[in-house]
Structure formats: structure tokens, C-alpha cells
Amino acid sequence: MKLRTKLTISFLTIVLAPILLIGASVMVMNNFQIKALREIYGLSDTEGLISSNSLQLFNALTQSMRDEVELILQEDVSALQDPDYLKNLNQRLVEKHSYLIVRKDGQILYYGDAAAEALFHRLPGYGYGSDSMNQEGIYLGGDAQCLMSQQDFLFPDGKEGSLFIVTNVEPALPEVRSVIMDVIYVIILVLILTAILLTVWLYGSILRPLGTLKKATREIKNGNLDFSIDVSGKDEISELCMAFEEMRLRLKENSEEKMQYDADNKVLISNISHDLKTPITAIKGYVEGILDGVASSPEKLDKYVRTIYNKANDMDKLIDELTLYTKIDTNRIPYNFSKIKVDDYFGDCAEELKLELSAKNIELTYYNYLTEDVTIIGDAEQLKRVINNIISNSVKYMDKKKGIINMRIRDSGDFVQVEIEDNGRGISVRDLPYIFDRFYRADASRNSSTGGSGIGLSIVRKIIEDHGGRIWATSKENTGTIMHFVLRKYQEVPVE
């Protein structure tokens, strides 16, 4: 649910919920009030009670008496001077929580309750009761809480007379006050409950995710990325939390990559330092031998110089490999793609390598099973680096007196498949899946005579993949290894 929708619902809840709940509460309490008034005053007309105001409600108590008095005023006014009739009428009014007052020419002729004495000075003058509204009744507050109706008339002797029916409302006041207080309590309770419910709802949907987000920012600030933000929902805050979680994962991934990169650099520096130290130590030893006169004959001097030259070449190759590695790591290998005839290119590579390998008692054979017109698109220099690195690895791990390396070029549909097989020590099943990883060495010993930076085969894989190809290896320990890689054939697309 969107945040805007939640705020709209909250607003409507704040406005409508209290109104509906208070209205329902007032109706319930009104029913209790009606029941209480019915018990006190003996009322039975429930519909009239619900629809009437206070004056009409209490006038209903004495309506029959007022109708009777109206009839007496029309037929026999002298009855209002009869003490027995007035007493009888007053007794019936007492049953309705009312009493009678009769005034003649400004003097009280009859009153049916001692409490009436307190009202004598507050009685309206003659003529006030001629108004129909005043006949319905007026409310008198103060010490005497009562409702009074007035009917004016003339006695048989022509003197002015007024009849007052006074209804005591004090028994109802506690009920009214109780209802008013109950309404106030209900209003307060409804507002509190509404606020609590809205607070719980908003806390669960807004404040809690914000608290989680705040905690997450604190964790990231402290450098901790090993946590998760578990917030579900479709509102803006949930989307923000999910975006923050994606950012955390990306930061964690970048941090792990940086840590791995730093670790790789440390391994590289360690490997390069070790592998540079070996030829430098040899060069230093042979130079000292020349300076000390150990190489006394021309043949011995020539051997020393050639050894120094070979060691310098090893260092140059190592530095060249390091330079290429830095370019690979930043994706800045300078490729120069062109069309290459497969037979001519790999045949020339094999011829160059034969002379070098024969000096190390290793025989290289070359087999091409393709037609002469097959071509590929590639960088001749980088592909030659691939072949040299693979051959160098074969030579490095050759453990046979008579080494054999076979280079085969096969047709593989849309691809050219190159296989370079040796009869060296082979690679164990445990190490085979990792030989193309950077800095991985099957021979973990740093004192190994094979040396190497551990990045040669990773460079080979990078170059082959950048050519759109794939490389893999198969091997059997103590038997040999076969390196396979495929390159896509060049095919001209006819233009219509």
C-alpha cells in the first residue's frame, strides 16, 4: 500500500471513526437514559422519548391533566375554587412528580407542595400563559429545578386567575449529568483508542521500517555489511528499504572484490619477488665469477655470459607477463584483430617452437586436419602468447627424459579446435578445475624449481574468451595433459 494511501486512510480514520463510534455510543447511552426516565416517571412512549426535546418530554407527563383543566375552564371555572377538586387534581399530579399552584388576583389560592413557596415570587404575571409556547412549559433553574406550564383564565367574579402545573425534574438531573459525563468519557476513550490503533498501524508500516533503515545505516557506517534488511511491502518506504538492501549487497560485493583484488596483488607481488630473486641471484653469481676470474677460458666465459643472458630473458618474460596482467585486470589489452589463415599461422608457430624444444630434448609434432582455406579472426601476437604459455607450462612440468608435445588442429563445425598434448606429470583431479584461476598453483611449494607467477593460464583464458572462444583441459596424472581451445571460423556473409 502506497504511503499516500496510508495517509489518506489515517485522515479518514481520524475524522470518521470518532464520529461513528461516538454516535453509536450516544445512541446506546440514550437508550439507557430512556430506560431510566421510564422507570422514574413511568413513561412508556419510547418513540416519543427518542424524538422529543426536554420540555416536550416532561410536558408529556402532565398532558392529560392539562387537557382536563382546559375542559374545566371551558365548562365550569368555579371548580378551580373548590378545595376538594384542587386537592384531588393535585394528588393525581403527585403521581406524575408534579404539583398544582392556583393564583387569583395576584394571591395564591392553592398550592399542592411546600416547595411551591420558593416559587411564589418567580411566577409569571397574568397574560403570560396566553402564549401557546408558555403553555407548553418554561424551565426554572436555580435551587428549584422544575418545569412549569401556565394557563390563564377569569374566575366567575371576573378576577384574573392563573393555574400552574409544576413538574419536578430533579430526579432526572443525575441521570442527565451521568449521560453527559458518560458521553465525555466515551469521546475521550474513542479518541485514545483511535490514536493507539493509528499509532500501532503507522509504527508497523512506517516507523518500524525507518528504524530498520536507521540501524542499517549505522551498521554500514561502522563498516559492517554482514546483515540483511528484511522489509516487505509495496509502499515507498519498503521500496526504499529494498533499494538500500540492493545497495548494501553491491557494497558488500565491491568490498569482497577489493579484498580479493588486494589479496591477489599481495600474492602477485610475492610470486614476482620470489621469481625475480632466482634469476637475479644466478646473474649475480655468474657476474661475481667473471669478476673473480673463475671464467678463465673463453669457453667458460662464453657459457657464463649465455647463462646471464638466458636469466635476463627469463626476467624480461616475467616482467612482460606482469605488464600484461595489469592490462588484463583493467580490460586494456591492446588487440589488433585481422584475418589469419589457420594452417600457415599454426604451422609457423610449430616450426619456431621445434628448434627451441629440441634443445631441451622435447619433440614437437604438428598435425593439421583442416583445409588450407580455413581462416579465423584474431590477434596474431596474443594468440602466439597463448601457444607459448601453454607450451611453457608443458615444458615446466615435463618429468620424462624424452618429452613429447603434439599440436593438433581439428575441425569442430563453426569452430577451429586446437589441442596441445604433452606427456608430462599431468594434473590431479583435485587441481584440474582451478588451473585457469589467477595465482593458482598445483605445486604449492615456494621452493619448487618450476617457479612462475601463477597467472600464465589465467592470461590464456582471458585472451581466448576475448576472441569469442573457450578453453579447457583434460589430464591424467603421470601420463600427460591436453589443453583444448576453440576459435570461431571466419565466414563471409553474402551481400544481396
Q: How far is CA 99 from CA 75, 94, 221, 269, 322, in A?
A: 23, 6, 85, 116, 120
Q: Could you tell me the three cell numbers for 289?
A: 665469477
Place of cell 561502522: 222
pLDDT tens by residue, 425-477: 999 999 898 888 876 766 544 334 455 556 788 889 989 999 999 999 999 99
Q: What is the mean pLDDT of residues 326-351?
A: 84
Euclidean distance between CA atoms 99 and 169, whole angstroms: 12
Contact 320, 459 (CB under 8 A): no
Euclidean distance between CA atoms 126 and 164, whole angstroms: 11
Q: What is the pLDDT of residue 177?
A: 62
CA angle 257, 259, 261 (to 5 degrees): 65
| Contacting residues for 206 by C-beta, under 8 A, at least 6 apart | 3, 6, 237
Euclidean distance between CA atoms 439 and 443, whole angstroms: 11
pLDDT tens by residue, 251-308: 888 888 888 777 777 776 776 777 777 788 888 888 888 888 887 788 888 888 888 8
Contact 336, 463 (CB under 8 A): no
| pLDDT at position 45 over 60 | no
pLDDT tens by residue, 166-189: 887 776 555 556 666 777 777 788
Q: What is the pTM of this model?
A: 0.48
Q: What is the mean pLDDT of residues 335-342?
A: 92
Contact 95, 116 (CB under 8 A): no
Q: What average pLDDT does the chain have?
A: 80
